[in-house]
Amino acid sequence: MRKIIFLLSFLVVNIFPQGTAGEEAKFQYRYLIDMPSSGILEKGYVAVTNDVMPAGVLISRMEVGVFDGLCFGISYGGENIIGSGNPRWFNLPGVNVRFKLFDEAIALPSITIGFDSQGKGKYLDSTNRYSVKSPGFFASATKNYEVLGYLSLHGSVNYSLEHSDGDNFVNFMVGVEKTIGKRVSLLLEYDFAFNDNNTDHYGAGAGYCNFGVRWSLGDGLTLGLDLRDLFSNQKLTPGSADRAIRLEYIRAIF
């Protein structure tokens, strides 16, 4: 069943001419890089996202917009999927659901609440967590401005259920997107990692700073290139940022 879910995520063919990046983007971000944003998948659409990360980690996510303002999805992956040797599949799929509370107004941001159990990187059996914890329960806000294209400001508060390591604080994230022309966007986010700053474990206390580029290639395909952990906060991979690739497809199903 796990492998079926994983392989189905690659079978999406899109009919739309623009993805989620740039001034002419037709779809909202549900995530910047790792942080959840207030974007939501519209009713009748399906989205597939594939993250290719270090250590051969590949995570696939499928989301469906089922009602106006409500979407949900499932994700799955594992380690050593890319490369040689035997894959190490995650124990359980991740689930995510989000509900739009308020649309953006002139003076107010859009606000979305949700839940996401999918973390990033390796899964660490010794502490029952991913190397970068899943958001868990979250609330996110986004405000857009016209500044030489578009400038989007994002904020999120979350509480992860991965707290077997003893770090179980409420966490905060902030981010920004700047469009560069019709099809390209630059992303920057900072995860304060208040729930991952116990120096006896994996976070060194500096938080996670991530940078990304998104390019709408056409036909609903968006390509992303990411540099995660620019402050070298992650003890498992000290001294260098993680390099990753993201591919996203979106299409109408009903």
Which token pair is 174? Answer: 């902030």
Give the architecture (CATH level 2) of 2-252.
Beta Barrel (2.40)
**Each residue's pLDDT tens digit in the chain (254 positions)?**
554 444 444 333 333 345 689 898 888 899 999 999 999 999 999 999 999 999 899 999 999 999 999 999 999 999 999 887 899 999 999 999 999 999 999 889 999 999 999 999 889 888 888 989 999 999 999 999 999 999 999 999 999 999 888 788 899 999 999 999 999 999 999 999 998 887 556 777 788 999 999 999 987 889 999 999 998 887 666 567 889 999 999 999 88
pTM of the predicted structure, to 2 decimals: 0.88
Burial class (CB in 10 A: 0-12, 13-18, 19+), 60: buried
Residue 130's CB is within 10 A of a number of other CB atoms, namely 22
Across-strand partners of 96? 73, 116
Closest CA to 98 of 133, 63, 127: 63
Largest CA distance in the chain: 54
